[in-house]
Chain A
Amino acid sequence: MNIIEVRGLSKRFNGFTAVDNISFEVKQGEIFAFLGPNGAGKSTTIKMLTTLLHPTSGHMLLNGHNPVTDSAQVRRSFGIVFQDFSLDDELTAYENMEFHGVLYKMPPKVRRERIEQLLKLVDLWDRRNNLVKKFSGGMKRRLEIARGLLHHPKIFFLDEPTLGLDPQTRTHIWDYIKHLNQTEGITIFFTTHYMEEAEKVAQRIAIIDHGKIVAIGTPVELKALTNTHSVEEAFLSLTGKTIRDEEANNVDAMRIRRRMWHR
């Protein structure tokens, strides 16, 4: 069964085509990697799938629901870890979890049990009453993963979840994710710039460039297609070696200012 179906999806911003007529599907319980150079259209696609952005044209189905017309059902079906940290620094780990549980209208008893279970899973139960602003990047990510899973989503989106983390933390994070995929049968949809992570974790990979999907298949198929020995080589062979200079937008500018404010 396909838990995600995308047909002819496009998104244009003022004449610029960010996503250009893409189609793909993700099977239930699959670990699916969505790879591409900067500005290829990864984040735009995720935003459309997660109801944050309306497509210019095309169709999508998530867990059988349309993100445009049936956003409430779609929102209940997925959990997400955004590229930027989206925790409230002034709240504790537990309060962040509780906030999420209330927004997703979980009954209090179920909410408390699930929060305890997930915080223990990501080894943050002992730190539950600490303010998030005291947390390291890795701890924040682990908390966001726990939070995204709180409401028992069927699909879990992770947009560059391991960006800027040390190899130990990265290994840990992928262990949690694989564990959840196996024990709870959650479908995983992730993006990353670390090709070896995609090769190790993903069952199928889609490569997107200039808004179009250029290849899709298992790591073995991609390597065979390009006649290479690793996903990284396959990726470079498919997308070329030119460096992509994404124009800095307001968000990037704010990201930089925020870093200066907080350090």
Chain B
Amino acid sequence: MQTIYILWLRQLKRYLRSKSRIIGALGQPLLFLLALGYGFGPIFQKAGQGNYINYLAPGIIGMSIIFTSIFSGMEIIWDRQFGFLKETLVAPVSRFNIMLGRTLGGATVATLQGIIVLGISFIAGFRPHGWHLIIPAILVMFLISLLFTALGTMIASLLDDMQGFQLIINFLVMPLFFLSGALFPLQGLPAAMLTVAKLDPLSYGIDALKALLLGISHFALATDLAVLAVITFIFLSLGSYFFSKIQL
């Protein structure tokens, strides 16, 4: 228990101490929110879909979460050869606890990043459908964070070096984000694209956020939560399995 706590605390301390990382990771969501939000706003309005900033905000929160989570998970690649990981792997601690502590830490960091983006979207004009649903929305953000940090850990356990990182960003993270319904409604999509969106875990995360923050939902909140929970469990299990197989 103490092991998990100290590993979690370490991730959090590292995050809070690297101001440049916090600010840097905000640049992209901010740009999306402002450029797309104000850029497509009038068209969205004309199409009878209402306020685009409102529609977009949960998607952009999801975006900052998926990027931060996968990156936190993949930080293990750095640590694996140099930093702390070697030190932790020779300690009399189970691999599962190491993996869990790190993943919980990474997920907490990603949730914090999501909360900051939520705050920024308020400034940009986002208004949730009910203020009392902010806390449940943050819990959903944590669940999404956990899912993708576990995925990042799993990928990191399988890769040898950072060479593959760009590949993961372009062929995994970007598609997961763009096909998730973060930017556009899933209603009325071509069948093929809807099928892809249905296979994308982030779709359910963003749908759950929209259900709570906007009161609109494609899959229904209960389905979203069930899918997220099951996939998180699968990724955590696979992540800890692959992590336990790391030999240096």
With A53-B248, A95-B13 already in contact, the answer to whether A84 and B91 are too (CB < 8 A) is no
State which of B22-30, B76-84, B177-185 sits at the interface with chain A: B76-84
With A52-B248, A254-B161, A254-B162 already in contact, the answer to whether A88 and B90 are too (CB < 8 A) is no
Chain A minimum-CB-distance residue to B18: A90
Q: Give min CB distance, B12 to chain A, whole Å.
A: 11
Are B13 and A102 in contact, with the CB atoms below 8 A?
A: no
Are A85 and B161 in contact, with the CB atoms below 8 A?
A: no
What 1/0 mask marks residues of chain A from 68 to 101 whose CB sits below 8 Å from any chain B CB? 0001110110101010111111110001001110
With A95-B13, A103-B3, A254-B161 already in contact, the answer to whether A47 and B87 are too (CB < 8 A) is no
Are A84 and B81 in contact, with the CB atoms below 8 A?
A: yes
Are A251 and B81 in contact, with the CB atoms below 8 A?
A: yes
Are B90 and A253 in contact, with the CB atoms below 8 A?
A: no
Residue in contact with A103 in the complex, picked from B18, B82, B88, CB distance below 8 Å:
B88
> Does A250 sit within 8 A of B, measured CB to CB?
yes
Which B residues, 65 to 91, have Cβ-Cβ distances below 8 Å to chain A? 81-84, 86-91
> Does B158 sit within 8 A of A, measured CB to CB?
no
Q: Give min CB distance, A105 to chain B, whole Å.
A: 7
Which A residues, 32 to 78, have Cβ-Cβ distances below 8 Å to chain B? 47, 50-54, 71-73, 75-76, 78
Are B14 and A47 in contact, with the CB atoms below 8 A?
A: no
> Does A263 sit within 8 A of B, measured CB to CB?
no
Chain A minimum-CB-distance residue to B6: A102
Are A102 and B248 in contact, with the CB atoms below 8 A?
A: no
Contacts across chains A and B counted by CB atoms under 8 Å: 81
Residue in contact with B2 in the complex, picked from A52, A78, A105, A254, CB distance below 8 Å:
A105
Residue in contact with B10 in the complex, picked from A73, A91, A253, CB distance below 8 Å:
A91
Which B residues, 12 to 57, have Cβ-Cβ distances below 8 Å to chain A? 13-14, 17-18
- Which residues on the B side are within 8 Å of A105 (C-beta)? 2, 92
Are B81 and A254 in contact, with the CB atoms below 8 A?
A: yes
> Does A104 sit within 8 A of B, measured CB to CB?
yes
> Does B93 sit within 8 A of A, measured CB to CB?
yes
Which B residues, 89 to 105, have Cβ-Cβ distances below 8 Å to chain A? 89-93
What 1/0 mask marks residues of chain A from 100 to 125 whose CB sits below 8 Å from any chain B CB? 10111100000000000000000000
> Does A258 sit within 8 A of B, measured CB to CB?
yes
Measured in the bound complex, the distance between the Cα atoms of B86 and A198 in whole Å is: 26
Residue in contact with B82 in the complex, picked from A72, A80, A86, CB distance below 8 Å:
A86
Measured in the bound complex, the distance between the Cα atoms of B3 and A100 in whole Å is: 10
- Which residues on the B side are within 8 Å of A50 (C-beta)? 90
With A91-B13, A95-B13 already in contact, the answer to whether A100 and B248 are too (CB < 8 A) is no
Measured in the bound complex, the distance between the Cα atoms of B84 and A255 in whole Å is: 15
Q: Give min CB distance, B243 to chain A, whole Å.
A: 14
With A53-B247, A88-B84, A90-B14 already in contact, the answer to whether A75 and B2 are too (CB < 8 A) is no
Are B10 and A88 in contact, with the CB atoms below 8 A?
A: yes
Measured in the bound complex, the distance between the Cα atoms of B239 and A13 in whole Å is: 25
- Which residues on the A side are within 8 Å of B3 (C-beta)? 102-103
Which B residues, 191 to 214, have Cβ-Cβ distances below 8 Å to chain A? none
- Which residues on the A side are within 8 Å of B161 (C-beta)? 250, 253-254
Q: Give min CB distance, A28 to chain B, whole Å.
A: 21
Chain B minimum-CB-distance residue to A72: B92
Hey, which bits of chain B sit against chain A, CB under 8 A?
2-3, 6, 10, 13-14, 17-18, 81-84, 86-93, 160-162, 247-248
Hey, which bits of chain A sit against chain B, CB under 8 A?
47, 50-54, 71-73, 75-76, 78, 80, 82, 84-91, 95, 98-100, 102-105, 131, 147, 250-251, 253-255, 257-258
Question: Could you name 5 residue pairs across A and B whose Cβ atoms are closer than 8 Å?
Answer: A82-B86, A84-B81, A84-B82, A88-B10, A90-B13
Closest 7 pairs between A and B when the two form their complex, measured CB to CB: A103-B91, A75-B92, A250-B161, A102-B6, A90-B14, A86-B87, A52-B248
Q: A73-B92, A254-B162 are in contact. List 10 more A-B contacts (CB 8 A).
A: A72-B92, A75-B91, A82-B86, A88-B14, A91-B13, A98-B6, A102-B6, A103-B6, A104-B91, A105-B92
